[in-house]
Amino acid sequence: MSGATKKRRRAAGRAALVGAAVLAVGAGVVAATGIGFSSGDKAKAPHSTLPPATVKVTERTLLDTQTESGKLSYGDSTTLVGKLSGTVTSLPTPGSTIRKGQELYRVDNTPVVLMYGKLPTYRALTVGTEGADVKQFERNLWDLGYRGFTVDNEYTEATATAVKKWQKAIGLPESARTGTVDLGHVAYVLDAVRVDTVTASLGDAAKPGDAVLTHTGTVRGATVELAVSDVRLAVKGAAVTVKLPDGKTVKGKITDTRSKVSDSDSGNGSGSGSGNGSGGDDSSSSETKILVTIAFAGKKAVSGFDQATVDIGFTASKRENVLTVPVSALLTLAEGGYGVEVVDGRTTRTVAVKTGLFANGRVEISGDGVSEGMKVGVPA
């Protein structure tokens, strides 16, 4: 076989392998396992045809990284629905934070107060009322500093006495300090809220079921939607880096991952040059994404930015202190598996290798006869 023929076969093998590796990484496959060889196959006899170029085998930390565009946000927005009838007389300012015991808005100049809990308010609470909603309210009342009653499922005279003190503190007139908590005067959420948007207007006629405002959590984080093929990046608890609009980079951690299905509309149509054709067919299809939520190490890390676009850096895999070569250095072997062409002066020999992580154009290799600093052939 002529030297020119050997060169052509070697180049073709590398070209096919590099193309396959690119396709594999693009599909989310970042590692491959080499095939074992017998001792006779591990090193081929040397020959004198040199490759067009060489590189050294280097030891380094290999990272499978990827950067995606995300957004700073306070998380999902939730709508607060009112349960009172009357006139809207006071509303909060978008962006304001409201905590336990504080006023959300007013109807007929009577405050609707925020309290913490999972159970929505669904009835008035008065002496003799029993249930989990009583205990939830009493827990909040106790946390606000009121005493003289027992936190349990029973709304007693002692509870009513404490409620009258609370009603005075929130500004109710004496005639309204009844010791009864009327339906709609308390709204329950899980934690403090940030007012996102205000949907009601001052002077509106309020009625049960009307949306008053939307709210989010109070801690700013980041969210990013990943393609399903990038699922390897969405690991809960994994560390990420976030590049802010001012160029600074802060650390974050993935706190939640979940599937998100969105509908996308598409229209297709065709027509001929003679003026006859079929109209576009509207169709809708669902696209699944992976919604990733990221929290920051410090609350002040992203202060000064609101709904900004950021670059989020993911590290899917990490291999420390491994031998690596460019992917283009790999050869496909006739008997299966991969090898590299080791250059010794004016001669070369093919050495079988096992492959590990593929990342950023390089690949982890190992095997008998492979060492740091040796020269291997690559395309020009």
Distance of alpha carbon 61 from its chain centroid, rounded? 26
Q: What is the pLDDT of residue 283?
A: 53
**Beta strand pairing call for 277-296 and 97-98:** unpaired
Separation CA 42–CA 360 (nearest Å): 27
Mean of the per-residue pLDDT values of the chain: 86
pLDDT of residue 26: 43
Which parts of the chain sit beneath pLDDT 50? 1-12, 15-16, 18-42, 266-280
> What pLDDT sits at residue 263?
65
Say if pTM beats, i.e. exceeds, 0.75: no
Which CATH code for domain 68-73+220-264+283-316? Answer: 2.40.30.170
* C-alpha to C-alpha distance for 15 and 331, rounded to whole angstroms: 9
User: How confident is the model at residue 35, as a pLDDT?
Assistant: 35
At residue 354, the 3 state secondary structure works out as strand
Q: What is the pLDDT of residue 48?
A: 60
43 vs 70, 139, 167, 340, 367, CA distance in Å? 48, 75, 88, 10, 10
Start-end of CATH 2.40.420.20 domains in the chain = 3-63+318-378
One of 3.30.2420.10, 2.40.420.20, 2.40.50.140, 3.40.50.12780 is the CATH number of 3-63+318-378, namely 2.40.420.20
Give the CATH number of domain 78-216.
Answer: 1.10.101.10
Cα 300 from chain centroid (whole Å): 20
What is the structure's pLDDT at 173?
A: 96
Domain with CATH 2.40.30.170 in the chain: 68-73+220-264+283-316
